[in-house]
Amino acid sequence: MPEKEVEKTIDALLQERRTFEPPKEFTEQANASDPAIYEEAERDPEGWWESQAERLDWFERWDTVLEQDPPWHKWFVGGKLNASYNCLDRHLESHGDRVAYHWVGEPGETRDVSYRELHEEVSRLANALKDLGVAKGDRVAIYMPMIPELPAAMLACARIGAPHSVVFGGFSAESLRDRINDAECKVLITADGGYRKGNVVPLKDNADEALESTESIEKVVVVQRTDEDVNMVEGRDVVYSEIVQAASADCPAEPMDAEDILYILYTSGTTGKPKGIVHTTGGYLTGVASTHHYIFDIKPESDVYWCAADIGWVTGHSYIVYGPLVNGCTSILYEGAPDHPDKDRWWSIIEDHRATILYTAPTAIRSCMKWGVDYPQKHDLSSLRVLGSVGEPINPEAWIWYQEFIGGGKTPVVDTWWQTETGQIVISALPGLTTLKPGSATKPFPGSFADVVDESGEPVGPGGGGYLVLKRPVPAMFRTIFNDADRYVETYFERFGNDVYFPGDGAKLDDDGYYWLLGRVDDVMNIAGHRISTYEVESALVDHPDVAEAAVVGRVDPKEGETIVAFCTVKSGVEGDDDLMQELRGHVAKVIGKLARPHSIIFTDDLPKTRSGKIMRRLLRDVATGQELGDVSTLQNAPILDAIKAKASSQAADDE
């Protein structure tokens, strides 16, 4: 093979051979139990998605299912509906008293909110927003903790046709400012604060700082969550409870065109101007309702579903708010950290509410692995029947641990691949149909068309690694970047042509056509002429019984080109020393090959993570290369970087 091709191939090195058939009793009751669902969707994708749109209540039926002028696409053209109506009003007659959210505050308060109660709150808030001058098309920024008023605020905006822009409550004043300015938001809905690991997050103080450099905000609505003494600007700031109580509970839902904007969500972790991802109404609701129904096997009458993400991320938009509420199911909404007041908080909540489905991130699962099995084993988790993972590729050992110690060794684990941009899950198992392979997202959801291609856009075929692409849009996919159509085209469609969406991820296909995600192509290292994904090396390290978590980065070496640096946290009672380092290097060589052995391994008590649980490999790369650290404002544990830097410096000195 020519050298140029070698450099641009992503080598598929890690092999996982364990398989898990769907339990017979699960398949018998599953929402998807007939493999013909795939054939039907492949034969007539537009017809398939049209059948899924029938899940929704439409004020006016669409004329055309899909209009395409690549890279532009529109779904259910001519149709009219309302997201708030589909989440609330249509459920009131048959099951208005069903719990929509079991809310758990971090300090320990609990509150059950029924569909009827949520409908009234949303209607009153929607009228209050109109009284504040919000009209159809105006943007509203939302910067709140994980309390029921957050989904209520989103649905109130949707009810009157005002696109919302939710900003994650862990983001800084600067991040909030940039997002408000880009979307030119008219109103901000926030809170005096929220609770995180026993501390109060000063949301209102951050908001006041952000608003010093914004011009578009006219009113600020403040939820009194913590009763902290906060500054209230006369004429601008109003108290949430006061305006809601004063408003009418009668607010008819505004008919929205299927292609009207539902929300803008800004992608995090990028440099320069944030990207405002635009999601519209009809296609988005169709996509999230369908995937939520089939992938989690939702039974609204009996399930208690918990997506343990934050609504500030797309996972929360799609699978805490819109998907579950459209489907009329009961969800858990938790405000705080998984380890407060102790490391069994999640398992206690699952036991208390008899949760049946849990959807969380691999990073959170690995943290639980590090804390040990004693915590989950203190609780009765037998109610769980489906487990899911989201956010990044799950390594096989975390998958196995999740299934064994949280799922009782029998529960299907559906690993899901999707993005802020896709809006809905695109690659995932269907738990009643799919033979599961630990670490694989398995196959595209019905009606989704993916592939793995090489640098020239040609399919790599089974056994090959390359670039993940989508060959057709799914209904929930974003329509553009807010006020930046050129960037939309350049970022996502320039590489392989206007009719092929490139999400920026690497993947490999096995001989059964299963997809194995390899992480961002930016996280691929060039080692001795081989393109190796950080994910595979991390998976090999975590496969070792002494390692709880690992992150891997590439470091330019003047002698050897690029070398691998690994950062590892070990399990309780294990000492990270030179002997373990050599053992781990040998273990990686055995699992995926000698060329993937880390040049150096730095043992650390923790890894730098955002509050959503994602490891900030960018910062670890800065440490490994001796660069000045980039932005750390979104970290939940910034002090750990000082300890990591000290260990890295000490090890570098020893190497010399």
Q: Convert the pLDDT of each residue in 67-81 to its tens digit.
A: 999 999 999 999 999
Domain chopping of the chain, boundaries? 24-504, 523-655
Pairing relationship of beta strands 304-307 and 330-334 according to DSSP bridges: parallel
Mean pLDDT of 483-508: 94
Mean pLDDT of 233-247: 98
Q: Which two tokens stand for residue 94?
A: 């048959």
Q: How many CA atoms lie within 13 A of 391 on its CB side?
A: 27
Is residue 628 very low, low, confident or very high in pLDDT (cuts 50, 70, 90)?
A: confident
Identical fold, 24-504 and 523-655: no
Cα 595 from chain centre: 32
Give the least confident one: 68-77, 350-359, 563-572: 563-572
Report yes or no on whether pTM surpasses 0.75. yes
Instruction: Report pLDDT for 15.
Output: 66
Give the least confident one: 117-126, 428-437, 504-513, 625-634: 625-634
Is residue 6 very low, low, confident or very high in pLDDT (cuts 50, 70, 90)?
A: very low
Q: Please say if the pLDDT value at position 272 is more than 60.
A: no
335 φ, ψ (degrees, to nearest 5): -80, -35
Instruction: Report pLDDT for 59.
Output: 98
Instruction: Report pLDDT for 573.
Output: 87
CB atoms within 10 A of CB 588: 29
Instruction: Report pLDDT for 635.
Output: 72
Architecture of the CATH domain 523-655: 2-Layer Sandwich (3.30)
The residue that leads in pLDDT, 526 or 215, is 215
Mean pLDDT of 80-93: 98
Instruction: Report pLDDT for 192.
Output: 98
CA–CA distance, 402 with 281 (Å, rounded to integer): 35
Residue of 442, 430, 448, 154 lying closest to 287 (CA atoms): 448
Averaged pLDDT score across all residues of the chain: 92
Give the least confident one: 282-286, 428-432, 514-518, 520-524: 520-524
Residue of 443, 412, 384, 386 lying closest to 21 (CA atoms): 412
Mean pLDDT of 209-220: 97
Residue of 445, 73, 93 lying closest to 288 (CA atoms): 445
Mean pLDDT of 92-104: 98
Pairing relationship of beta strands 530-533 and 524-527 according to DSSP bridges: antiparallel
Compute CA distances 195 → 104, 306, 309, 317, 353, whole Å.
Answer: 11, 19, 15, 20, 21
CATH class label, 24-504: alpha beta
Is residue 522 very low, low, confident or very high in pLDDT (cuts 50, 70, 90)?
A: confident
Mean pLDDT of 27-51: 97
Q: Please say if the pLDDT value at position 268 is more than 70.
A: no
In sequence order, the 6+-apart residues with CB closer than 8 A to the CB of 237 are 219, 220, 221, 222
551 φ, ψ (degrees, to nearest 5): -135, 140
Mean pLDDT of 282-306: 98
- Angle of helix 282-295 relative to helix 45-53, nearest 10 degrees, comes to 90
Q: Please say if the pLDDT value at position 7 is more than 60.
A: no
72 φ, ψ (degrees, to nearest 5): -95, 145
CA–CA distance, 514 with 476 (Å, rounded to integer): 23
The residue that leads in pLDDT, 595 or 611, is 595
